[in-house]
């Protein structure tokens, strides 16, 4: 059995924070505002994974009211989510994602993002797509006030269903 999920996230750019996307520190004068490290790509992937199994969303699973998640590395949240879907008998087939930012340019960082995320998610490099897009100077992202990301994840059930399962 296959399950598909989609995820989305957006965070405001602010001074005084590091910019972390895809688990990688990106050189930029601003970072993303959030309770955790505000990694929009990882957050979108987490929501896609949770959505594929009709589980709670990232805000319910890792609430911003819990001090345990204050400034946490989102890669740790991704690892927890990966272990959760595995415990339910699923593995990742592939992920397709977009980072939407007017600045900075994401393309130079994408190979490192893919390496880091593929290692956490135990998937081959060719099963993770990360694309960089702009908003052509339109809306808050295009005006360099925010960065957003979206992701689609395909999961596969790994356990054979027997007659005893119904």
Average pLDDT over residues 86-110: 97
Query: 160 pLDDT band (50/70/90 cuts)?
Result: low
pLDDT at site 78: 98
Q: How far apart are CA 51 and CA 92, in angstroms?
A: 13
Q: Give the pLDDT confidence score for residue 159 in this predicted structure.
A: 73
Query: Distance (Å, rounded) from C-alpha 54 to C-alpha 57?
Result: 9
Domain boundaries, the chain: 2-158
| 3-state SS, residue 115 | helix
Tokens 């399950």 locate to: 3
- Check pLDDT > 50 for residue 53: yes
According to DSSP, the residues that pair with 7 across neighbouring strands are 151
Average pLDDT over residues 113-121: 98
Per-residue confidence at 163, pLDDT binned at 50, 70, 90?
low
pLDDT of residue 67: 96
The superfamily in CATH containing domain 2-158 is 2-C-methyl-D-erythritol 2,4-cyclodiphosphate synthase (3.30.1330.50)
What integer is the mean pLDDT of 137-161? 93
Distances (CA, A) of 116 to 57, 112, 136, 153, 159: 23, 6, 29, 17, 27
Q: Does residue 40 register a pLDDT over 50? A: yes
Q: How confident is the model at residue 143 (pLDDT cuts 50, 70, 90)?
A: very high
Question: Is the pLDDT assigned to residue 141 strictly greater than 50?
Answer: yes
């Amino acid at each position: 059995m296959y399950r598909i999920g989609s995820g989305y996230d957006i965070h405001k750019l602010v001074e005084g924070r590091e910019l972390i996307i895809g688990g990688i520190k990106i050189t930029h004068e601003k970072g993303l505002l959030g309770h955790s490290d505000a990694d929009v790509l990882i957050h979108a992937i987490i929501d896609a994974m949770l959505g594929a199994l009709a589980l709670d969303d990232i805000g319910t699973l890792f609430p911003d009211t819990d001090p345990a998640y204050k400034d946490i590395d989102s890669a740790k949240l991704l690892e927890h989510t990966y272990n959760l879907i595995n415990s339910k008998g699923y593995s990742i087939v592939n992920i397709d994602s977009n980072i939407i930012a007017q600045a900075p340019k994401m393309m130079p960082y994408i190979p490192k993002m893919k390496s880091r995320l593929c290692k956490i998610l135990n998937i081959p490099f060719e099963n993770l797509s990360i694309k960089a897009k702009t908003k052509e100077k339109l809306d808050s992202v295009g005006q360099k006030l925010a960065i957003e990301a979206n992701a689609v994840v395909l999961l596969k059930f790994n356990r054979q269903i027997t007659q005893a399962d119904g």
